[in-house]
Structure 1
Amino acid sequence: MQFVAEVLCKVLGCTLDRAVLLMLQAHHTGRAIVWTGTKEVAELKVEQIRTFHETRDGDGAKLGPFDCTIEPAPGS
């Protein structure tokens, strides 16, 4: 789960505390709104999240991609 928090911090620029809260929300409910903005930037963020494991410097552990989706924000 540390990997998920790391991705959220690096790609979305959130704090570690916020990343952990979002990660736990997704873990317990199956989803979390982690970012809102324009569709074009959202598409870029999704690609960065999905490929983060390919560019991560680390101990060589296999950390596969995790899935994310783009959806209209509630109330929009």
Structure 2
Amino acid sequence: MTEIDEIIVQIKQLFTKKPNTIYEVRIVDEVYSGMINIFFEYYKIGYATTSQQIARLEGTYCEQIPVIKQQIKHETGLTIVTIK
């Protein structure tokens, strides 16, 4: 099982369908530290966003971000936001 597969398993465990709740995965490429953070975020309409870090990858994954994004989207169906 690869790191990406483990991340997808964690996302599926955290993703509980609740009414009026918006879920998304945020991929943040930290330029200065050379790391990639992946967060699971959700918020109920009218309430603050809850963000939980689920992975911290080496900078070598930087070129694979589009593939990671597509794989997570395909497996979970969640919205993926990328920040550089």
TM-score category by the smaller chain?
A: 0.3 to 0.5
RCO higher in 1 or 2 (8 Å CA, sep ≥ 6)?
Answer: 2
By percentage of residues, which structure has more strand? 2
TM-score by length of 1: 0.35
TM-score by length of 2: 0.33
By percentage of residues, which structure has more helix? 1
